[in-house]
Homo-oligomer: A and B are copies of this chain.
Amino acid sequence: MADWDHTPDIHREDRLGFDEAVFCLQKRPDQLRRILADADERGRTLLLTRLSAEQLAPLPTSYRERIDYDNLSHTGLFGSIQAPASAARVATVSAGTSDAGVAAEAVRTLRYYGEACHEIQDVGVAGLWRLLERIDEIRRLPVIIVVAGMDAALPSVLGGLVPGAVIAVPVSTGYGVAAEGRTALNAALTSCAPGLVVVNIDNGYGAACAALRMLRSLRPTEPTEGGNMPHG
């Protein structure tokens, strides 16, 4: 009774250009094992997100050995993943130490789907010089994933400085009215910088998928020669 029925969305790759990831939070060992067995049988790779070390431990060695696990992002890549074919077309920009895990989830998702990523960390606006020093580097990439908690001032500042697509990922750090990321989310949605887009709190995976949609449907234009930020 109440037997668990697994129906993966096997046509997703055809429809969307990327396959279905496995969101592991609250999945039981037997469920994970069955999902891995199913992938193994079909000879498919898998992206596992929100996978804790505790969930990983009881899996059969034969599976565990084939999972490239990252402790910061809590992601696992099952099967052999291709190296990125081109230079990074996406940057992740994060504000502080607490945002590193969410940024890493985006990086790992992109990696799984064959995209390299340019990572920039610890450039929160309280010390604005850190961001300004690296802004030309960021401006050269067509898609920017910006990861910030608390007041999420970084997406607003960045959105006013770079011309590319800016995807804001609010983060559930902080305390009090940080409200587990809702303040960061709302700040990103009401940003005074035009044309920012936003995903759910802590959703590094979703931001990466959004970047993939853009990169698969569109093709980067030639980098503006020079490319440095105009005065002002």
Contact = CB atoms under 8 A, between A and B. Distances in A.
A197 B146 CA distance: 13
Q: How large is the interface on A (under 10, 10 to 19, 20 to 34, 35 or more residues)?
A: 35 or more
A214 B163 CA distance: 9
A215 to B, nearest CB: 7
Given A163-B17, A197-B167, A220 B221 contact: no
Given A16-B194, A104-B2, A217-B165, A232 B11 contact: yes
Interface stretch (A36-44, A55-63, A154-162): A154-162
Interface of A: 1-2, 4-7, 9-12, 14-18, 20-21, 25-27, 31, 70, 72-73, 95-98, 100, 103-104, 107-108, 111, 119, 121-130, 142-143, 150-153, 156-157, 159-167, 170, 172-203, 205-206, 208-221, 229-232
Closest 9 CB pairs of A and B: A195-B209, A176-B201, A9-B127, A218-B218, A11-B232, A197-B197, A142-B217, A129-B232, A7-B122
